Amino acid sequence: MFKEDTLQDKTILITGGGSGLGLAMAQKFASLGANIAICGRTKEKLEQAVQKIRTHEKSKVDFYVCDVRNYEVVEEMIQAIVRDFGAMEGLVNNAAGNFLSTSEDLTPNGFNTVIDIVLNGTFNCTHTFGNYLIKRERPGNILNMVTTYTETGSAFVLPSACAKAGVLALTNTLAYEWAEYNIRLNSIAPGPFPTKGAWTRLMPDKSFEDQYLSKIPAGRYGDREELANLAAFLMSDMAPYITGESVIIDGGEHLKSGQFNFINEMLPRDELKKLFVKMKSGRK
């Protein structure tokens, strides 16, 4: 379906692009001719990611150390990308944070940290990029990563559920409001796609992983290439009339509702509390 020039002449920023699904999307976009900017907070991780993305020789690739929670730093980054690449046509808000916790044991700092990265970070990048496009009367494309539990909520991931629901509302609100500027906004709601960072925070042990897998109708986890293909389509000129859409890609998992609700059936709550604390501290 894709050609090598599907995303040619497009410069796309992927937040949290140094690993996991962000890196998978960056590599896919680069293979289709896009110029790629990635950002994150860890320089070493970004440097390694750039080397992987640069295997696609036709694409210009660079990284920017940036904390998306800081609006002024985001503004400086967007200005730097435009200066370095000449323009910017696309944004993928992929940076996120999540962890398991019973809601009564959440600390205000734990809640605020996830909200700050996911919701405020998405706003900061979207608002800055959107104003760049509007002031220059340029079309643009924004893709936001949400979850399958934005409408249902999910046990043990309250901060993420709240933040991602906010991102979905932001996406749909701006898809309507900014359509007159020829700016499209869509979202993807991934189910389980095993990545090192997320998996260590969300899967306590193999028994949990086996239980998780058993509730996916497709009988398997997602492959990063599958998500990257969907993202490439939505970011391309093949989807010019799609805006305000949230696409679920989860092998049918959402049909059972509440992504992490199954955990409540595995252990007594007191044992779950101890397990979550152990995960948070990094102990096995």
Question: Which residue matches tokens 């760049």?
Answer: 132
C-alpha 223/C-alpha 50 separation (Å) is: 21
Which is catalytic among the residues 64, 132, 149, 212? 149
User: DSSP 3-state assignment of 231?
Assistant: helix
Q: Which residues, 6+ apart, have CB-to-CB distance to 214 below 8 Å? A: none
Is 149 known to be catalytic?
yes
- Supply 183's token pair: 């700016």
Strands 183-190 and 140-145: parallel
C-alpha 170/C-alpha 149 separation (Å) is: 16
Strand locations in the chain, DSSP E? Answer: 11-15, 35-40, 61-65, 90-93, 140-145, 183-190, 246-249
C-alpha 16/C-alpha 20 separation (Å) is: 8
Catalytically active residues are 149
